[in-house]
Structure 1
């Protein structure tokens, strides 16, 4: 059975498609530290190669992105920022000032909270969210370039507790501090995502828009819970309380893909993860993902992924050996 194969998620508790995607992408949040500043200041940060988050513990400042035409964002205490765009940005009290380089600021000091100069009117703490490179685009492409959760909104209330604990873990030498910080950062990321969705924030067509659509989510959950089942369009439409035609149209509009095509792609994402980790054979994947034969599974895999399962598995094994030797 599919639920017994090692690559599947733990079904001992209720899951949801967003949790499934984040697990598939091996989402891992890390607190990288923070800084204090005061007076007139500006710090320029390099373009992040992963999702970057900042939480304003105290003070006021501005965020400026380098994209032409974007306006500066005012940040106040309690605000949380999630940057998904891979572009340089500046934080400061006055963005017209010549900024200092963030790498130089952090390289010169070994403490988790560094002094960026001028005092401590502002305290920022930050980190990043890493994903498996094969699945990172699923998350980053679903979100806008910048998410800004304001500290005075109801959804920010639980974040304030998390931020305070993150500061404690960063400034005090507590047992298990590294693990606690990582868990708190991950929880903060989830709350930022929830707050953005609850506020009706921008979501691009795809799996995330499907997951937050109350009419389509039940069908999506069925496909994620039992991807190996031979789902028919009428069964999925019935779960969403729609006719086949209306369901198919609404699903494609929100997800950018037809329902059964989404199911096929979800199966292949699970299959690639299993092959990357060496958790299953082609025969077991074919059986557990609902294909009548290895040949049928291999044909579907090559059509969607671009190579055969055996070639994909061999390439992942080779890449792993090269990485290990390095």
Structure 2
């Protein structure tokens, strides 16, 4: 008979882990706003502005911006220009942590047009609303941006995927919708070239979305966010994050960090509570859950993307980490 205390202990550990992560994310300093609504009808597709142009329009002087899209209705896909296609449905939040160029579209094939052809250039007299498509089923998006110079959003560390989709559940789901609706209603033009909007709402929204996304990543209950600033750990983490499919050895990671194997191992264990290769396994599983949840990639393809030559080896590792094989896990976690 199973010990009834085991479930309680595990739940308590998860609660502690999420509370620690939430406290760490609360220390991030983010500034941004809701800036655009999109009303699209099937078939439709568009390509975003290049990152430097988006920064110039949204946050002049910032080094980069974080972009997010809340799906208010319908279903959409998003892909960065060199990445796989992710799907999102009503209530989901799409995040581009490095502000990468991207394409978005609906469920039917469509010619992809530049977003610059769909919207007047600034300054805007009111919050822009894009209306585009051919009159079929509708998808509504609310778009926002944030600026932050934290290493979490530094593209050199690759601590996050280029694009990921989060499906808030429980109390978070109605909170996201209500917060976005309020932010849209409260956004107003106060000068010909300046909108005033509730800045705390996008900040709180992104922190909550990040908490959900990172909850199953390795070592978030310890010093993971701090590790991204560590001169020894940051280069090794960046190498693993950039190429999770590579067959990393301790020696290669130590060379990337320009330290000895023993120092690297000691630093991983003292700061993150994990050996380097154990962290790598956890990171691969974290990426795999994102791909399984929001893309149509087959299990074998996902396995190769995260460093496993065979689907069988990947499935065994996935089940050890997540408690279920990839296919049944996907069935219970896929956005519909």
Q: TM-score, normalised by structure 2?
A: 0.48
Structure having the higher Rg:
1
